[in-house]
Amino acid sequence: MEHLFVIASVWLGLAVISAIIAYHLHISIALIEICVGVAAGAMAGLTAEPDVLASKGEWLRFLASSGAILLTFLAGAELDPDVLRTKAKEVSVIGLVGFLAPFFGCAAAAHYLLRWDPRASLLCGVALSTTSMAVVYAVMLETGLNKTEFGKGVLGACFINDLGTVIALGLLFSPFTYKTVVFVLTSGAVLALLPSVTGWITRIYAYRTAAIRTKWVMLVLFGLGALALWSGSEGVLPAYIAGMVLAGGAAKDDFWIRRLRTLTVGFLTPFYFLRAGMLVSLGALASAPFIFLVLLAGKVLSKIFGLYPFVRLFRRDRNERWYYTLLMSTGLTFGTISALFGLSHGIVTQGQYSFLVATVIASAVVPTLIAGLFFLPAHLLPVPGERKAEPERDGLGDEG
């Protein structure tokens, strides 16, 4: 048991180092954690035991997956239904273009430039069509843009983009079975009842029973996540929709959201972002950098040239347009999931998988770094001191 505590301490130590670096460089901590993960993974690879940090351990994979699920739920909970209704055209158009442009662009690049077979090329298009909800939301959270109509529009477009990725992966490579029907029907019923049941639990038990609302929501998220994995889908998709259906009700409790955010960002997501960085094989990149550069250029350029003309239709400010476009050019969660799906089903080889994952990780870092350094829409940022300080409360039954 002490070995697990030692490993966990090392990972949390890397998280603390990442936070300090992010503070001094004024860069999103999610990006720093990914980069620190890459460095830590490279150093671990020099040891006699390559997986000395247990990045492939089931317990660590569970923590990382839990972080992705809760972060995705929080992203959905930040969406204002009224804002989405008024921005339905913007969210739909940008989200669909954000999926279609890199899907066709990257699939064509893989097939005609890298000479991958048709199935591997299509899988490449799916894996690189994504937008990273986890990275985008983490950046929005740190800047305070998650509370603005601009930020909520970006998050909504990210959801439509990733929904297209999930649907494409299922239609192209996953057979439609009874499991799919069970997942859709069960999820629909649970999500339809979720707001009323959560409201009832909150009225009767919240502020009297220790964190029951948090336990209830996590029960639903993990249960739907298990059902999604069983059906061949991905656990973060129902988590995002669950956040959306609660956005107009229970998630309006700002104090509860802050407490849940502290659990997620303070403990779980460092495992997710650090582990994502450790998936990158620097040796594979060094052996064939041309392939990596072609895939990265294909993803980022197809996103930018596809999205920017449409983003211009909805945003007048230059920085807003470029910031929007570059954040939509990121990738992480669904990209790595799609690549792993391709590897486990024999659609791509181990080498192709390594290049896809490396490209996905790089796309999470490079566009976001450029966006934050050169195109941050400072006029939309909250005024210093505008955000209320979180009240200090003790006890177990104060947040429901």
Q: What would the pLDDT profile of 338-350 be if each residue is shown by its tens digit?
A: 887 888 778 988 7
Question: How many Å apart are CA 138 and CA 64, to the nearest integer?
Answer: 15
In this predicted structure, the answer to whether residue 90 has a pLDDT above a threshold of 70 is: yes
User: Average pLDDT over the chain, rounded to whole?
Assistant: 85
Domain limits at 28?
2-375
In this predicted structure, the answer to whether residue 385 has a pLDDT above a threshold of 60 is: no
pLDDT tens column, 241-266:
898 888 876 656 778 888 888 889 88
Among 39-43, 101-105, 138-142, 255-259, the range with the most confident prediction by mean pLDDT is: 101-105
User: Has residue 306 been placed in a domain?
Assistant: yes
Spell out the residues 6+ positions from residue 154 whose beta carbon is closer than 8 angstroms to its own. Answer: 136, 140, 145, 324, 327, 328
User: What per-residue confidence (pLDDT) applies to 395?
Assistant: 39
96: burial class by Cβ within 10 Å (0-12, 13-18, 19+)? middle
pTM for the full predicted model: 0.77
Confidence of residue 389 (pLDDT cuts 50, 70, 90): very low
In this predicted structure, the answer to whether residue 32 has a pLDDT above a threshold of 70 is: yes
Number of domains observed in the structure of the chain: 1
In this predicted structure, the answer to whether residue 276 has a pLDDT above a threshold of 60 is: yes
Over residues 72-97, the mean pLDDT reads 84
CATH of the domain at 52: 1.20.1530.20
In this predicted structure, the answer to whether residue 49 has a pLDDT above a threshold of 60 is: yes
Over residues 309-328, the mean pLDDT reads 94
User: What per-residue confidence (pLDDT) applies to 388?
Assistant: 46
Over residues 266-284, the mean pLDDT reads 84
Spell out the residues 6+ positions from residue 379 whose beta carbon is closer than 8 angstroms to its own. Answer: 317
Q: How many degrees, rounded to 5, is the angle at CA 384 between CA 143 and CA 251?
A: 55
Question: How many Å apart are CA 357 and CA 363, to the nearest integer?
Answer: 10
Q: Map residue 83 onto helix, strand or coil.
A: helix
User: Has residue 388 been placed in a domain?
Assistant: no
Over residues 228-253, the mean pLDDT reads 79
User: Has residue 355 been placed in a domain?
Assistant: yes
| Both structure tokens of 346 | 């024999």
Query: What are the phi and psi torsion angles at 347 (to 5°)?
Result: -80, -35
User: What per-residue confidence (pLDDT) applies to 149?
Assistant: 87
User: What per-residue confidence (pLDDT) applies to 357?
Assistant: 86
In this predicted structure, the answer to whether residue 1 has a pLDDT above a threshold of 80 is: no
User: What per-residue confidence (pLDDT) applies to 333?
Assistant: 74
Among 31-35, 172-176, 267-271, 364-368, which is the least confidently predicted range? 172-176
User: Has residue 287 been placed in a domain?
Assistant: yes
User: What per-residue confidence (pLDDT) applies to 400?
Assistant: 53
Confidence of residue 287 (pLDDT cuts 50, 70, 90): confident
Over residues 131-149, the mean pLDDT reads 85
In this predicted structure, the answer to whether residue 127 has a pLDDT above a threshold of 50 is: yes
User: Has residue 398 been placed in a domain?
Assistant: no
User: Has residue 387 been placed in a domain?
Assistant: no
User: What per-residue confidence (pLDDT) applies to 50?
Assistant: 67
User: Has residue 164 been placed in a domain?
Assistant: yes
Percent of the chain with pLDDT over 70: 93
Query: What are the phi and psi torsion angles at 392 (to 5°)?
Result: -85, 120
Over residues 103-107, the mean pLDDT reads 96
User: What per-residue confidence (pLDDT) applies to 245?
Assistant: 87
Over residues 158-162, the mean pLDDT reads 88
User: Has residue 389 been placed in a domain?
Assistant: no
In this predicted structure, the answer to whether residue 300 has a pLDDT above a threshold of 80 is: yes
In this predicted structure, the answer to whether residue 120 has a pLDDT above a threshold of 70 is: yes
Over residues 375-399, the mean pLDDT reads 60
Helix axis angle, 118-127 to 350-374, nearest 10°: 30
In this predicted structure, the answer to whether residue 369 has a pLDDT above a threshold of 60 is: yes
Q: Map residue 289 onto helix, strand or coil.
A: helix
In this predicted structure, the answer to whether residue 390 has a pLDDT above a threshold of 50 is: no
